[in-house]
Amino acid sequence: MKVTLLGTGDAIGTPKIGCKCPACIDALRGGRSRRMRFSVLIESDEDDGRVLVDSSPDLRWQLLKKDISSVDGVVWTHAHYDHYAGFGDFHRVQSHVDVYALKATMDYILNYLYFLNPVRHDALAYEPFDIAGMQFTLFPVNHPPVETVGVRIDDGNKVVVITSDTKMEVPERSLELMKDADLMLADAITPPGYTISKHMTADEAMALGERLGAKRLLLTHLSHLYPPHEIALKEWPLGHDMMEIVL
């Protein structure tokens, strides 16, 4: 299984429009602080399957960067625009894309994206389903007030967990599904020292990863409030756009 972090930014991305903080300056100069909005590509070695978890507003550029014109499915974690709004970039590229989400999330998103006629698959929390030879399980997390799920992906004996946007206080049943992942991608919108009501900070995400026994932890959904990427890496395991991890 190969995991590509197509976009590792928060809702506004980095650089933030009009900002001249150190991270935004690094991003404007082409450094790894430049972050598109959140999407993850999951690829299966055996079946050559490709699945997107969330469809960033920057999806067009992400697909061009990866030279991808079709996927086997899109999984949506929640109905915030930075996680679904780019799906329209499949217009005249791939028709009738298979999409997966909880019912309320699906209802909201397809009210906006109805014109694309995707193939709807309403998933249930904690009930596994298969796409392209990989098993996906959606589990509730804590991102008030929006219904939000994390994603567990099983491919052979390898497990990837994506927390999606969440606070640390995740339901116990979800925490059980998140344990001992080969790779955990964790929401960590800011470095320590900020009060964020709907997301984890870097220290909280790292504590959660350690508690759950993740073999490898990468922080994502990152804001411009971090130091420039190469400096921040000295303290935190930050992901970066187009980073590839082979399991």
Note the pLDDT tens digit of each residue in 64-92: 999 999 999 999 999 999 999 999 999 98
Per-residue tokens: 113: 């994206």
Give the pLDDT of residue 195: 82
Q: How many domains does the chain have?
A: 1
Give bridge partners of residue 140 from the DSSP assignment: 149
CA distance 236 to 229: 10
Percent of the chain past pLDDT 70, that is, above it, reads 100
Q: Which residue has the higher pLDDT, 246 or 47?
A: 246
Full domain range(s) for residue 173: 2-246
- CATH for 111: 3.60.15.10
92 Cβ partners below 8 Å, 6+ apart? none
Sheet with 129-131: strands ordered across: 129-131, 134-140, 149-155, 158-162, 183-187, 217-220
Q: Is the pTM of this model over 0.85?
A: yes
